[in-house]
Amino acid sequence: MFSPRCYSAKGTSDYANIVQSVCMIVFALLFYSCEQDMTIDIKTNDKRLLVDGEFTDDKAVHSIRLYCSGSLITGRPQSIVSGAKIFLTDGIDTFDYIENKDTLGLYQTAGKVGGQGGHHYTLTITNIDIDNDGKMESYTANSLMPVPLKFDSLVSSRGLNGDGNMAVNNWAYYKLFYNGPDFIYKFELLNNDSIGTITDRLGTGEIAGDKYFNWVVPKVLNPGSFVNYQSYMSINSTVVKGDNITFICYNFTAAQFEFLKEFDNNTSSDNQFNSENIYDQLKVPTNLPTNIEPADKAAGYFFVYSISKISKVFNE
């Protein structure tokens, strides 16, 4: 009576052993397969040219920094790219960017130069081999420099702002022309005429803090026509008679604005960037748009924008 039970128990043990052996084989195959997939992923999109630069209509020494992108996967840090040949042209004027001998990877115009609103500019970068295949590569970026908005006047008065706080309220009146900006980034300075650049503000939370409010500006569809417009900002700090108030607008295309918005969505004011490299914490910013071509081998952005400024002495 007990024999069948003993046979049944032995049969169950054999079956369990067989199942255990099969599971171990399947697990080993899956583990091996995962290892193979990971190895392939490590080698994918591991190197790109990373461009950080801008060109405006402001007479200044303009700069471009080139890096070979780092990798979040392999942990390889970003490295500078030296020995490149860079020039910018609108088909009329050509500006060469020369590598700084004291700071390799930094390329600057030979002197103080500026662009012209309404012109299309093409940046060309050659004489580099990012993927180390022995073949020199070429990269380009194209952008319109918007016609800068033209300020007519700046009106300031002391009173309550929209938050109910005492402030100096400022209304800037200006005209928008054909080929003008799609978007503007506006800010004010008190007793400081330093304009700075847009890359100075990336990663600081200043752009994100604006929540993109009042960035959009009316479009002028016909050459020779214009649109009257106004913009408002307030200064909450103490302003006294004799202080200088400056109202500034950076004039951007829609494509540039989309990059700025996505950059803000991928960063925060809590994560400050290395001032020498605005993409330092992004490593390989694959989720950001770029105007560098070929886009699958490059990242970053080359900004081309115009600047509008008006100042007044506060006399109230």
Do the bridges between strand 49-56 and strand 298-313 make them parallel or antiparallel, or are there none, so unpaired?
parallel
Dump pLDDT digits (tens) for 236-288. Answer: 878 999 999 999 999 999 999 888 888 877 665 555 555 556 666 555 455 67
User: In this predicted model, which residue has the larger pLDDT, 15 or 52?
Assistant: 52
**3 state DSSP class of 72:** coil
Q: What are phi and psi of 113, to 5 degrees?
A: -135, 165
Confidence of residue 43 (pLDDT cuts 50, 70, 90): very low
Dump pLDDT digits (tens) for 11-28. Answer: 444 544 544 554 454 444
pLDDT score of 227 more than 90 = yes
Rounded Cα distance between 52 and 75, Å, is 21
Query: How far is residue 50 from each of residues 64, 285, 286, measured CA to CA in Å?
Result: 10, 9, 11
Segment (H or E) for 11:
helix 3-42
Mean pLDDT value of segment 215-223 = 89
Mean pLDDT value of segment 196-218 = 70
Instruction: Give the model's pLDDT for residue 73.
Output: 58
- Residue position matching structure tokens 């913009």: 231
Considering Cα of 234, then 238, then 242, then 245, what sign does the dihedral take?
negative
Mean pLDDT value of segment 15-44 = 45
Instruction: Give the model's pLDDT for residue 259.
Output: 86
Confidence of residue 153 (pLDDT cuts 50, 70, 90): very high
- pTM listed for this prediction: 0.79
Instruction: Give the model's pLDDT for residue 262.
Output: 80
| Centroid of chain to Cα 2 | 80
Instruction: Give the model's pLDDT for residue 306.
Output: 97
Considering Cα of 95, then 100, then 103, then 105, what sign does the dihedral take?
positive
